[in-house]
Amino acid sequence: MNTAPVNTSTVPAIAPPSAPPATVPAAVPAAASARSLAAYAVARVIREGVTLDSALKDALAATPITLAPSVKSLSYGAVRGYYRHEALLGKLLSQPVKALDVLVRALLSVALYELEDSRTPEYAVVDAAVKTAKATDAARAGGLINAVLRRYLREAKLLNTEVGRNPATRHASPVWLADRLRADWPVRWTQLLAAGDAQAPMWLRVNGQHISTEEYLLKLEAAGIVAQAEARVPYAVLLKTPVDVQDLPGFAEGWVSVQDLGAQCVAFPLALSPGLRVLDACAAPGGKSALMLEREPGLAKLVAVDIDPNRIVRVRENLARGNLIADLITADVSQTSKWWDGVPFDRILLDAPCSALGVIRRHPDIRLRKSPAEIDKLPLVQARLLTSIWPLLATGGRLVYVTCTLTRSENRDVIGAFLRGTPNAKSVPVESWIGWPGLGEADEYGRQILTGEAGADGFYYAALTKI
Ligand SMILES: C[S@@+](CC[C@H](N)C(=O)[O-])C[C@H]1O[C@@H](n2cnc3c(N)ncnc32)[C@H](O)[C@@H]1O
């Protein structure tokens, strides 16, 4: 180890941040290591607000494929623990954490994740973090990184105990998010924080048009993949350990898709039957469109609309894999005069854009990218979408409102306000949803699956009918 020991208990302050302008990604060094690629990806999430997946896609584009698993696991680990690391750094540094250069901050999170993960010897983590800093734009911070990590190692037990006392920092949540969850779920909020901090399981949806769940379980067994069916949600299969989709029997042939259990519950309030005309109003990447077409091949029509042309491509790919057919439209669904043929729909699925707090365990970068101000704007967007597509529903038809979030403001309150302002809209009681397996907590209008319940992501469902 070539790093000198640090004797002081207070880490020296560093120069003010010298981060590049917000939209300009820092250049990744030519001979990049997994650690530096991970840190640059994390830095882009912090600085530019891009998703971690898109930052990783760019980072890995010109990288040997062998580095990809380490870059992914380091960056996900750093992002997952980001706010716990922030609390630790707050105790380790003599200056505000926010004053750190973004890349230095990201490098520290990568290293703290490695120390928490404890698969790499401690000395090697510190050594590698300092070397990585020296090989990047963070070269000047090598001494600081060395000092911070060494002090963390000396005081880890005490620091982790202190940080663990607060449920928000224990579960690596920003304080504002913990406060929101506590306000909406006063009894469950710490459980929700813990669920958001856990690793998400891999759920499959078996395509009953091709193969039964029982037969598919046998195929998995033959392939050496341990799995079990979730009897309460037909076609849902839980894998003991996540696998690469290419290793799933019949994946390319559309026998099976990856879809969370909570998302698969959409089938219950929809109550599909042959001959129905269905609109999937916010369809991309097409998971629920595919589910509807698999469950009810006798639909008269499925129209799948999404505003994002790149994401519509993914709907096309997902449906093509299962030989499923829908009318795909790229449009703002609320501008109905631009795309609707005037024939009413019997079912409308509005899987609305939302704060996605129910899927944080899959996308931990949500905690870095969302802000309370942004979340507060969403109910207006959701209400506008509901109001603009309501005229497209046939009398006696059903609209199912879905989000993958946990805030009452985006769920119960949106539906409540819509019902109050729409005399021909009526709530379909949750008790009448055939097949609903008793998941979730009911509110006045719908049902909230809480993250982690039965292994599912957090989803909200409400069904409305037109009178
Ligand atoms: C939660 S995702 C939908 C997930 C999808 N239903 C599935 O199960 O795969 C929300 C989608 O709404 C789309 N969206 C947002 N605003 C929209 C609008 N005004 N019109 C149509 N689509 C919109 C987004 O592009 C995004 O793909």
Ligand 1 site, residue 282, Cβ cutoff 6 A: yes
What is the reported pLDDT for 198? 94
- Residue 283 C-alpha to ligand 1 middle, in angstroms? 5
What is the reported pLDDT for 27? 52
- Residue 41 C-alpha to ligand 1 middle, in angstroms? 25
| Mean residue pLDDT across the chain | 92
* pLDDT at 466 > cutoff 60: yes
- pTM strictly above 0.85: yes
**β-sheet bridge partners, residue 347:** 278, 398
Cα distances (Å, whole numbers) of residue 437 to 191, 201, 230: 21, 19, 10
| Range 34-165 has CATH code 1.10.940.10 | yes
Domain boundaries 202-258, corresponding CATH code: 3.30.70.1170
| Ligand 1 atom at minimal distance to the Cα of residue 263 | 8
Indicate the pLDDT class of residue 28, thresholds 50, 70 and 90.
low
29 or 397, which is more confident: 397
Contact 433/299 with Cβ under 8 angstroms? no
CATH number (3.40.50.300, 3.40.50.2300, 3.90.1720.10, 3.40.50.150) of 261-466 reads 3.40.50.150
Q: What beta strand segments (E) does 212-343 contain?
A: 227-229, 236-239, 256-258, 277-280, 301-306, 327-330
Same CATH fold assignment for domains 34-165 and 202-258: no
Which among 451, 450, 432 has a CA at the least distance from the CA of 441?
450
34-48 and 68-80 helices cross at what angle (nearest 10)? 40
| Ligand 1 atom at minimal distance to the Cα of residue 353 | 10
Mean pLDDT in residue range 347-360: 98
Domain boundaries, the chain: 34-165, 202-258, 261-466
